[in-house]
Structure 1
Amino acid sequence: MSIDLSLDRIRKLLSHLPRYTRPTVHIAGTNGKGSVSSLVSSILHATVPPLKVGRFNSPHLVSVHDSIAVNNEPISPATYTSAKELVEETDRKHDIGSSSFELLTSTALLIFEQERVDVVVLEVGMGGRLDATNVVPDECVIASALTAVDLDHQAFLGSTVAEIAKEKAAIARPGKPFVLGPQKYPEVQDVVKEVVATAGGQLIHASPASSRTWDNEFDGPGPAIISLSQETFAGPSPTPIQMSLPCFSEPLRAVLPLHGEHQLSNLGVALNIISALITCPCDETSVRPLQLKQRLTPSAISRGVRSVSWPGRLSFHRVRVPLTEDNRSARPLTILADGAHNPASSATLAAYVSSLIPAAPRTRPAASVREISLTYILALSHSPPKTPLQTLAPLLPPTVPQPEDSRPVKLKVQIAVLRFSPPDGMPWINSVPPSVLRETVSTLVPDAEVWCAPEDAQDPTQLLAALQWAAKQTEEADESLVVLAGSLYLVADFYRLIRAGRLGGATI
């Protein structure tokens, strides 16, 4: 199925549904927009009294209704089904022929209106100018934002970063703040400046939040030392941060539980959105009763940052993988799950994995070599012109710093390749055949042992088989880590195994 980007169908569909009136924060970007949306919604809901916050993200994680949340909790299947049936019936009655994403977006907007949420945090699906979410009226948008822009979806958005940035920045609205996050490519700044100025928006440049020294009095007990040991695993602690914002006279301090250096940039975008809501209040009558300036205090914002959760993005999980059908034999695994699906996010994941290894404790004499088992479980979407080699080259082979004052590290690398389950409501999404992935990873890491799933298998049981293989590979390792990545749809299969009870002792 092809994707026909247009706003005509969804505008017609929404004209026959209850009018959408919710104050909305609209977020676009190639990477990071989901993290920013989770941060903004968590902060807004942490106010006293709490704001009722709706959030729409795509793609969904485990089930399609997971993409629509109220107060950071997915809506119930019953709520989703009721709204979806009304939307689909309206679409059929008026012979509109809306796409799957247009129907989903309309369902989300209808639910937020029915729930009378105070604020909606709306993530763009793809692009911006012609994305279905851009149908929200100007008077409803209270702030827009653009996270990091990179090459992705070139077939629909343009062949250069500048062309893609122009499409994404087109969500800017007249008279409303537009927060631009840190960018890898300088040309993005110029393009966005021109687009926002043409739209009559107020451009705000967001810098990353800064990490700081852990403060036991403010942050709580000190962080644990990272350990990749099978027996004494300890994951990374939250990052203490501070940031100066126009809305406050003193720097804001908080503790960020989302992992990775890139999350400091995402937090910078989120905090500048919040600052804009405080310092640039809209005149619309729907916003004034929210008393955002009074509610969004430093303590509320700090609470919201500390309580944020965004599964499947550098998320650690401890599971016990069954090795027999009767579950009498199982082996513990430490899983790092991440939806990295393009070269930029793969590079981010690679840098994070490398940062973990030197931080592991030294439990043996300084002269000995640390042997670490590193297993990758990978599946990718077929998304030309992006190739599997382009996506995986930043990730493989892994690199490990070798400081002179630490024990040398020897990596044992093994890789499992497979398909993910076809996502509900997205028939245009296809996974790359395992044989193609096997050829790609063998080119990048010739010495790695590779496990390859059957060519046409597309269900979570293949992932369970890959996890069982990984468990056997790490049997003798003192230190080990399994990196599950390449697609958020593969991460979703992993969470389905957890929810179905197929993996023992799972923690999320």
Structure 2
Amino acid sequence: MSIDLTLDRVRLLASHLPQFKRLTCHIAGTNGKGSVSSILSSILHSVFTVGRYNSPHLVSIYDCITINNKPISPATYAAARKEVEEANDRFDTKASSFELLTLTALLIFERAKLDVVVIEVGLGGRLDATNIIPDDAILVSALASVDLDHQAFLGSTVEAIAKEKAGIARKDKPFVMGVQKHAGVEQVVRSTVSDVGGDFISGQAVQTRPWDESIDGPESRTFSLSAEPFKKPPAQPISFNIPVYLSDILALFPLHGRHQLDNLGLALSVVSTILTHPSCRKAIAFHIRCEFTMDTIARGIASTSWPGRLSFHTIGPGAVSSHFQQITRPLHTLVDGAHNPASSAALGSYVSDLVSLATRSQAADSQTQAVIRLTYVLSLSDSPPKTPKETLTPLFDIKHPAGSSLQLNVAVLRFTPPEGMPWVKSVSPALLRDTICAVAPGVEVWCAGDDEDPRSGSLVRALAWAAGRGEGNDVQELVIVAGSLYLVADFYRLLGAGTTV
């Protein structure tokens, strides 16, 4: 089975189901659209009842459909899915698994009579199943960062991909574009939005600010990758201006990485648009809009959670999951779904920041040289024309301060094939090993067997191998699980509850 991008099947099937009428924020993009949807739904939940649909799911199918930021119950999912599948069989629409899932989510949200729904595009935009949402239901459309990915389906250039993603724009409705790194994206998006009669809006940037203890509380000034108990880096103090308020919104943003500031800027620009754009003001009653205050927005920002995107966990002795009994000492892990060159570059940049922060903290506490050991645990999807070399190279461009020592190790393996997506296949561990040896000579590599079933315990063995690199007296250490959200999902299934440290 392959991906057949068309709206014919899903439109036909939707016509035999209850009409979807919930006010919707529709989010497209190559990187960051999931983060934007998570941030936005957290902010909106301070005032509204909110549904959110993301793809792919992380641990189970239920976590991609949330109501008020909580996964739906298996019973709720099963009842809606049964209704969608029965209609699919009755009218022989031959809908794909993603189309069935999308209509299941929309049916759940409609039946719950939610105030607002946040929908993440699955692939592209113009021909994505989520783009059947009626024009009247669209509140705001938004576009996160666009980059090369899925070229076989969306086009061979960033501009072509941007045009497909901007295809979610709607007549007389605002379309908010976030920060873009490719200069050609804005012109294409402006033109596409204009062609359908939409209202193009450039998103505003979030500003970082110094920590203010009168606003943010006491600041933790020490950070060590080897601290027991481990403390993740502090939240980022930010400010943002929304024209309806006399002063800036001040908040602590818990997601890590400089790229997440761009995602926050887009989410807040959508909120600003909801509060100021004529079509949104018409759709949402004045007294409800008045419930948005600087405090409720700041609390929504601070309560954002988005597992699997620069998320910290500690495994080993004392961990909740029995799967990690083979790991004989605490192992601090950073888990991220970076899966293409752009997201890998963002991860590499963040790891460089962590190394610098850990080095500075150790230098302030002692006169010893900082020794940092990083161990990547990696798996990649086979997705030509994207190559393993393009995705992996940014992970090894780690900057570290003079006077510090950096040790790199890598474990490579396959991820568990996602259910209902037979076209998703992992790159062979042998090819990953050979690629790493070419781009980072001298790095020690642990390699699972090419034919090894990932459900046989290869991820646990890779993590145990990372722990076996040895502690060392003054070594600060971090294990980074990355390369695919499907590998991240394997990690969370082992972790069990999946609660961020």
TM-score (norm 1): 0.93
Match of 1:358, as an amino acid?
S
Match of 1:376, as an amino acid?
Y
Write out per-residue CA displacement over residues 232-283 of structure 1, whole angstroms, 9 at most, x where no aligned residue.
5332100010012223231111110000011111111001100111111537
| 1:226 Cα deviation after fit | 1.7
The aligned counterpart of 1:389 is 389
The aligned counterpart of 1:356 is 354
Per the alignment, do residues 343 and 329 of structure 1 end up closer, same or farther by CA in structure 2, a change over 3 Å counting?
closer
Match of 1:349, as an amino acid?
L
Whichever structure has more helix as a proportion of its residues is 2
Alignment of 1:321-400 (within 5 A): 327=325, 330-360=328-358, 361-362=361-362, 368-400=368-400
Percentage identity across paired residues of the two chains: 53
Per the alignment, do residues 116 and 467 of structure 1 end up closer, same or farther by CA in structure 2, a change over 3 Å counting?
same
Q: How many residues align?
A: 495
Equivalent of 2:427 in 432, 442, 448: 432
DSSP 3-state at the match of 2:30: coil
Equivalent of 2:172 in 171, 175, 184: 175
Q: 1:278·1:292 contact (CA, 8 Å) conserved in 2?
A: no
Match of 2:347, as an amino acid?
L
| 1:455 Cα deviation after fit | 1.1
Equivalent of 1:476 in 459, 462, 472: 472
Write out per-residue CA displacement over residues 387-409 of structure 1, whole angstroms, 9 at most, x where no aligned residue.
1001111112433233xxxxx11
CA distance in 2, matches of 1:416, 1:203: 45
Is 1:152 aligned to 2:149, yes or no? yes
DSSP 3-state at the match of 1:295: coil
Match of 2:72, as an amino acid?
I
Match of 1:413, as an amino acid?
L
Is 1:98 aligned to 2:95, yes or no? yes
CA distance in 1, matches of 2:185, 2:500: 39
The aligned counterpart of 1:258 is 255
The runs of 5 or more residues in structure 2 that have no matched partner are none
Is 1:467 aligned to 2:460, yes or no? no
Per the alignment, do residues 290 and 497 of structure 1 end up closer, same or farther by CA in structure 2, a change over 3 Å counting?
farther
| 1:18 Cα deviation after fit | 0.7
| 1:221 Cα deviation after fit | 1.6
| 1:507 Cα deviation after fit | 4.8
The aligned counterpart of 1:401 is 401
DSSP 3-state at the match of 2:110: helix
The aligned counterpart of 1:64 is 61
Write out per-residue CA displacement over residues 43-84 of structure 1, whole angstroms, 9 at most, x where no aligned residue.
11112xxx1100000010001121100000010111111111
DSSP 3-state at the match of 2:406: strand
Write out per-residue CA displacement over residues 208-250 of structure 1, whole angstroms, 9 at most, x where no aligned residue.
2011011111111213422112545332100010012223231
CA distance in 2, matches of 1:328, 1:220: 39
**Which segment is superposed worse, 138-147 or 313-322?**
313-322
Q: 1:378·1:485 contact (CA, 8 Å) conserved in 2?
A: yes
| 1:363 Cα deviation after fit | 5.6
Match of 2:155, as an amino acid?
G
CA distance in 2, matches of 1:333, 1:229: 9
The aligned counterpart of 2:296 is 300
| 1:192 Cα deviation after fit | 0.7
CA distance in 2, matches of 1:238, 1:288: 32
The aligned counterpart of 2:442 is 447
The runs of 5 or more residues in structure 1 that have no matched partner are 403-407
The aligned counterpart of 1:248 is 245
Per the alignment, do residues 452 and 397 of structure 1 end up closer, same or farther by CA in structure 2, a change over 3 Å counting?
farther
**Which segment is superposed worse, 222-231 or 174-183?**
222-231
Per the alignment, do residues 6 and 412 of structure 1 end up closer, same or farther by CA in structure 2, a change over 3 Å counting?
same
Equivalent of 2:199 in 202, 209, 227: 202
Write out per-residue CA displacement over residues 84-114 of structure 1, whole angstroms, 9 at most, x where no aligned residue.
1111111011111001110110000000011
The aligned counterpart of 1:405 is none
- Cα-Cα RMSD: 2.1
Q: 2:34·2:54 contact (CA, 8 Å) conserved in 1?
A: yes
Alignment of 1:10-89 (within 5 A): 10-47=10-47, 51-89=48-86
Per the alignment, do residues 281 and 23 of structure 1 end up closer, same or farther by CA in structure 2, a change over 3 Å counting?
farther
CA distance in 2, matches of 1:148, 1:137: 25
Match of 1:37, as an amino acid?
S
Q: 1:397·1:444 contact (CA, 8 Å) conserved in 2?
A: no
CA distance in 1, matches of 2:45, 2:178: 23
DSSP 3-state at the match of 1:411: strand
Is 1:415 aligned to 2:382, yes or no? no
The aligned counterpart of 1:288 is 284
Equivalent of 1:217 in 206, 214, 218: 214
| 1:284 Cα deviation after fit | 9.4
Per the alignment, do residues 218 and 382 of structure 1 end up closer, same or farther by CA in structure 2, a change over 3 Å counting?
same
The aligned counterpart of 1:268 is 265
TM-score (norm 2): 0.95
CA distance in 1, matches of 2:326, 2:366: 38
